Amino acid sequence: MDIPYLTPLPVDMLRRLGIPSDWNFGLADRVRFSELDALGHVNNAAYLSWFENVRLPYLAQARVTDYGPSAPRLVIAELGVRYLKEMLRGEVYVLTARTASYRNSSFQTDYAVFRITDSTAELTCSSRAAIVLRSRDGTGKLPIPDAAIAHFTRVDGATKET
Amino acid sequence: MDIPYLTPLPVDMLRRLGIPSDWNFGLADRVRFSELDALGHVNNAAYLSWFENVRLPYLAQARVTDYGPSAPRLVIAELGVRYLKEMLRGEVYVLTARTASYRNSSFQTDYAVFRITDSTAELTCSSRAAIVLRSRDGTGKLPIPDAAIAHFTRVDGATKET
Amino acid sequence: MDIPYLTPLPVDMLRRLGIPSDWNFGLADRVRFSELDALGHVNNAAYLSWFENVRLPYLAQARVTDYGPSAPRLVIAELGVRYLKEMLRGEVYVLTARTASYRNSSFQTDYAVFRITDSTAELTCSSRAAIVLRSRDGTGKLPIPDAAIAHFTRVDGATKET
Amino acid sequence: MDIPYLTPLPVDMLRRLGIPSDWNFGLADRVRFSELDALGHVNNAAYLSWFENVRLPYLAQARVTDYGPSAPRLVIAELGVRYLKEMLRGEVYVLTARTASYRNSSFQTDYAVFRITDSTAELTCSSRAAIVLRSRDGTGKLPIPDAAIAHFTRVDGATKET
């Protein structure tokens, strides 16, 4: 299959690639030489930049931010990563993102890496990150915009934490 | 105080810098320009390279590996990071490492970043990583060397998971 | 125009994008957040990884190497870069590569970055790198394969240095 | 010899380490695992971050900038690098910087990497970068401060280009 890289993929293409149906936002990329370490596989830190690559367009689509000059600061407070399979140079993968749950000014986002081959989409890495909306001047937290909460609930099936 | 960078610090220097007494392995470093992102603070992925910087000498001192040609592969299976404070260019910090618990062929390692100023050592980031010892050919797991278990228990106060 | 990313582009697409006719190998990519520095623009070091991204598939297509286990080591001996225009997050660019001249076991490769907008391909950065073929054991130099010299002359119009 | 890392070294220590007498600004560092690529040696792009590491304190000491909010933008217009020797994990090196020549609003800076062993300082990489002082708003060039020209001439022996 011909996969358009670096662009949010239509949901039906995610399904045809074999990405599980609880992921509705994804984009394709390939492992670069500069992401390998001396062991010859993708270094554990490189995955965090990958999640950043999918998080930024995801947060724009979910209406959390427009990245404008007066947009809130989005700060990662906590993250967890599970490294399930090694990855090697040139491999094609799809990064996915969604929101699992939210509070007033913070939310839990999930990420996954699926290695794409002719026949399968194999989960190689998964991650969760807690994101907090802070004011530009750093003095306080800001509420999640209503449009974002609508997206979290409707598209991602996220729940409100109590 | 004059801090020697990039070299494991004597325990009494860790104490004088204000590092809590449950950390016995640490080394000092400074934030580089290349570790900042467009927000002007240390990027979340850079911390993983910092933990790598302290993990490698820690694992050698703890006798887990000599990094020789027949040494086991040390694979990170899972990690968690808590980002507590932003960090900025030029700041001096001490990275610490220790082992919290172990099984037959895997162990849980803890890391912390302390920002050093004249008066305090301020915890800015903490992390836990699960490490697995794998054979070179990838076919199986290898047991933790006895000398490493001795170090884990005696120096780090690690406990065996059951 | 719809540009396929991360894949060598057909020559007629290079022409339609406005890439000058002395470039016959190119691939498209986008600026990532992790490539920006604290000044908010692409850091000077990031361009070297970009040139690496285009060099690797270029050298395979030019038959210099198949990156197999017995392939020669390709070592960069010298490089020059001219930074003509700043680049910013999300910008689309085409990387190009070709060989300018060759000797027995070394050759001069040229690279360029073109920022792609609806109307133009704007040169933002150019580079030249001298590459040497070395034996695996590092003891000596290896000759450029005949198939590569044929590619250098026929496709790139490279000349032999005397 | 005990070398203080990450701090500009006194000139007499540069001499005792074997750094040639035409270098008067240098700081020591060690190769990190994250700077290696899949070939197991320091990647060509990593050297550019090293030169950045020495350039920033050098430009402050030379009074080119105080990195304050109204300081000029320092833009690299062109650079050249000669890779003379491979470098490996854990190696200790001294980075050096100086200015070779200047015009009204631009100047040529030189850099070198010396691998330090017990007996020698071995040149492994050298570089030249042309730097331009630009106004914050990007509209024009700014003159080099007089104090910087005094430093360039007196300490570095730089000459004015005509």
Decide: C119 and C74 in contact? Cβ < 8 Å: no
Residue A44 lies in a domain: yes
Taking CA atoms, what residue in A is nearest to C2?
A: A4
Task: Please write the tens of the pLDDT for every residue from D54-83.
Answer: 999 999 999 999 988 889 999 999 999 999
> Residue A91: helix, strand or coil by DSSP?
coil
Nearest CA distance, A86 vs chain D (angstrom): 14
Taking CA atoms, what residue in D is nearest to B36?
A: D49
> Residue A81: helix, strand or coil by DSSP?
strand
Task: Please write the tens of the pLDDT for every residue from C97-106.
Answer: 999 999 999 9
Instruction: State the average pLDDT over residues B134-150.
Output: 93
pLDDT at B154 over 80: yes
| Average pLDDT value for chain B | 95
Residue A3 lies in a domain: no
The whole-angstrom separation of Cα C161 and Cα C6 is: 32
* Subunits with 3+ C-beta pairs closer than 8 A to D: A, B, C
- Cβ–Cβ of B79/A48 closer than 8 Å? no
Nearest CA distance, B15 vs chain D (angstrom): 21
Residue A4 lies in a domain: no
By mean pLDDT, which of A135-139, B70-74, D24-28 is the weakest?
Answer: A135-139
Nearest to A40 among D33, D34, D38 (CB): D38
Taking CA atoms, what residue in B is nearest to A46?
A: B45
Residue C162 lies in a domain: no
What pLDDT does residue B70 have?
Answer: 86
By mean pLDDT, which of B68-77, C22-31, C151-160 is the weakest?
Answer: B68-77
What pLDDT does residue D1 have?
Answer: 61
- The residue among A90, A109, A97, A95 whose CA lies nearest residue A47 is A95
* Residues in chain C closer than 8 A to B45 (CB atoms): 34
pLDDT at B101 over 90: yes
Nearest to C30 among A2, A6, A34 (CB): A6
Task: Please write the tens of the pLDDT for every residue from A74-127.
Answer: 999 999 999 999 999 999 999 999 999 999 999 999 999 999 998 899 999 999
Name the pairing type of β-strands D121-134 and D73-83. Answer: antiparallel
Reported as a pLDDT band with limits 50, 70 and 90, residue B118 is: confident
- Cβ–Cβ of A56/C34 closer than 8 Å? no
Instruction: State the average pLDDT over residues C30-47.
Output: 97
CB atoms within 10 A of CB A106: 18
Nearest CA distance, B23 vs chain D (angstrom): 23
**Structure token digits, residue B46:** 């850079």
- Cβ–Cβ of C34/B37 closer than 8 Å? yes
Distances (CA, A) of A37 to A82, A83, B30, C13, C35: 18, 15, 22, 34, 18
What pLDDT does residue B1 have?
Answer: 62
| Average pLDDT value for chain D | 95
- Which ipTM score applies to this complex? 0.95
Decide: A5 and A54 in contact? Cβ < 8 Å: no
Reported as a pLDDT band with limits 50, 70 and 90, residue A15 is: very high
Across-strand partners of C126?
A: C82, C112
pLDDT at A23 over 80: yes
The whole-angstrom separation of Cα C61 and Cα D118 is: 45
- Cβ–Cβ of B89/C37 closer than 8 Å? no
Instruction: State the average pLDDT over residues C102-119.
Output: 96
Taking CA atoms, what residue in B is nearest to D35?
A: B49
Residue C4 lies in a domain: no
Nearest to B32 among D4, D5, D53 (CB): D53
| Average pLDDT value for chain C | 96
Taking CA atoms, what residue in C is nearest to D85?
A: C77
- Number of structural domains chain C divides into: 1
A30 Cα distance to chain centroid: 16
By mean pLDDT, which of C87-91, C131-135, D136-140 is the weakest?
Answer: D136-140
* Residues in chain C closer than 8 A to D39 (CB atoms): 73
Residue D2 lies in a domain: no
The whole-angstrom separation of Cα B132 and Cα D134 is: 51
Tell me the CATH number at D17.
3.10.129.10
Tokens 């492994």 — which residue? D124
Domain residue limits at D95: 11-157
In sequence order, which residues have a C-beta less than 8 Å from that of residue B56 and are 6 or more positions away? Answer: B67, D33
What pLDDT does residue B64 have?
Answer: 97
pLDDT at C1 over 70: no
pLDDT at C2 over 90: no
What pLDDT does residue D70 have?
Answer: 86
Taking CA atoms, what residue in D is nearest to B91?
A: D6
pLDDT at A1 over 70: no
What pLDDT does residue B2 have?
Answer: 76
End-to-end C-alpha distance for chain D, whole angstroms: 43
Residue B92 lies in a domain: yes
Task: Please write the tens of the pLDDT for every residue from B2-61.
Answer: 789 999 999 999 999 999 999 999 999 999 999 999 999 999 999 999 999 999 999 999
Vertex A75 angle, CA A73 and A81, to 5°: 150
Residue D31 lies in a domain: yes
Vertex C46 angle, CA C44 and C50, to 5°: 125
Find the chain A residues whose C-beta atoms sit closer than 8 A to any C-beta of B.
39, 44-46, 48-49, 52, 73, 75-83, 86
In sequence order, which residues have a C-beta less than 8 Å from that of residue C115 and are 6 or more positions away? Answer: C85, C87, C91, C92, C93, C121, C122, C124
* Residues in chain B closer than 8 A to A42 (CB atoms): none
Reported as a pLDDT band with limits 50, 70 and 90, residue C51 is: very high
**Single-letter residue type at D124:** T
* Subunits with 3+ C-beta pairs closer than 8 A to B: A, C, D
Tokens 């701090």 — which residue? D7
* Residues in chain B closer than 8 A to C43 (CB atoms): 34
Decide: D34 and D96 in contact? Cβ < 8 Å: no
Give the per-residue SS3 of chain D.
Answer: CCCCECCCCCHHHHHHHCCCCCCCCEEEEECCHHHECCCCCECCCHHHHHHHHHHHHHHHHCCCCCCCCCCCEEEEEEEEEEECCCCCCCCEEEEEEEEEEECCCEEEEEEEEEEECCCCEEEEEEEEEEEEEECCCCCCECCCCHHHHHHHHHCCCCEECC
**Single-letter residue type at D119:** S
